[in-house]
Amino acid sequence: MSEPSSDTEGGTIEPVRDESPPRLRREQPLAIRCAHWLNVPLLTLMAASGLQILDAYPNFGPRGALYSWFPLQEADLPSWLRFGGWLAGARHWHFALAWFLVLNGALYLAYVFASGEWRRRLFLPRRDTRNALRMFAYYSLLTRTPPPADFYNGLQRLAYTSAIVIGIAMVLSGLAIYKPVQLHWLAALFGGYDGARVVHFTGLCLLVAFVVSHLVLVASHPREIVKMINGGARAAIDKPS
């Protein structure tokens, strides 16, 4: 950006041009790639150990009664989906891994907001709603023409932002399950201990749905997985104001 300068002898004012080269950043910065790949084993083991815990009591409801409105009751979980061997072992794994997952998520969010990456990654309703609807119509074969290409389309931004919100809800509901007495005020936000269990398990199901759809899209666009390995091409980014 140019700034005005003046001639000390009353001459004309000429702009001073900023000739410094623009900053370059890879499409997928290193911090985001590290957080992405760390999430793979952490989420896998967290989900598997959580299912091992659930297998000990696969009912949802207060004091042995079942919530009639909740469809996922008394699930018979196959052993290959579970991790931890037994209830206590799964609990140890689940709570130990949770802190690493929370730390990884916190560092990711800190980088996204500090670097300004949130502007091109998170869903902003005024900017992305129309694009998301058009992309949904394209994926649903209701239209043949996709909306204009961008770093992420509106539907991707909505999915990634929703995954972050679901993850935060799972962390909070997990804390309410872990310490329902000490954190009774937090458990109350979810309708008590049993409500927190419902939110926690529902969040897991939603994250699984997100991962499955994510893998399907990656399979249809294999170049994107390469970018999450090498970072992709370097591109100029706006300088901070």
Which amino acid appears at position 91 of this protein? R
Residue 3 pLDDT:
52
Query: Which run of H or of E encompasses 236?
Result: strand 234-236
Task: Supply the mean pLDDT for the chain.
Answer: 86
Instruction: Say which residue, 159 or 4, is predicted with more confidence.
Output: 159
Average pLDDT over residues 164-174: 96
Express each pLDDT in 187-208 by its tens digit: 999 999 999 999 999 999 999 9
pLDDT of residue 35: 95
Which of 9-13, 75-79, 187-191, 222-226 has the least mean pLDDT?
9-13
Which of 58-72, 83-97, 129-143, 202-216 shows the lowest per-residue confidence on average (mean pLDDT)?
58-72
* Angstrom distance (rounded) from CA 99 to CA 232: 30
Nearest to 26 by CA among 185, 195, 179, 237: 237
- Mode of pairing for the β-strands spanning 234-236 and 3-5: unpaired
* Mean local confidence (pLDDT), 41-65: 91
Domain ranges (residues) in the chain = 42-60+82-233
Instruction: Give residue-wise pLDDT tens across range 88-101.
Output: 999 999 999 999 99
168 or 227: which carries more pLDDT confidence? 168
For the ranges 66-75, 83-92, 175-184, the lowest mean pLDDT is seen at: 66-75
CA distance 71 to 75: 10
pLDDT reported for residue 240: 39
- The whole-number pLDDT of residue 228 equals 87
pLDDT at 241 over 50: no
Number of alpha carbons in the 13 Å side-chain half-sphere of residue 31? 14
Please state whether the predicted TM-score (pTM) of the whole model is above 0.75.
yes
Per-residue confidence band for 15, with pLDDT thresholds at 50, 70 and 90: low
> What CATH architecture is 42-60+82-233?
Up-down Bundle (1.20)
Question: What percent of the chain is modeled with pLDDT above 70?
Answer: 87
Instruction: Examine the pLDDT at 233 and tell me if it is beyond 80.
Output: no
Q: What percent of the chain has pLDDT over 90?
A: 61
Q: Per-residue pLDDT for 2 more than 60? A: no
pLDDT-derived band of residue 225, with 50, 70 and 90 as boundaries? confident
The position carrying tokens 């790639």 is 33
- The CA–CA distances, whole Å, from 89 to 95, 99, 137, 212 equal 10, 16, 46, 28
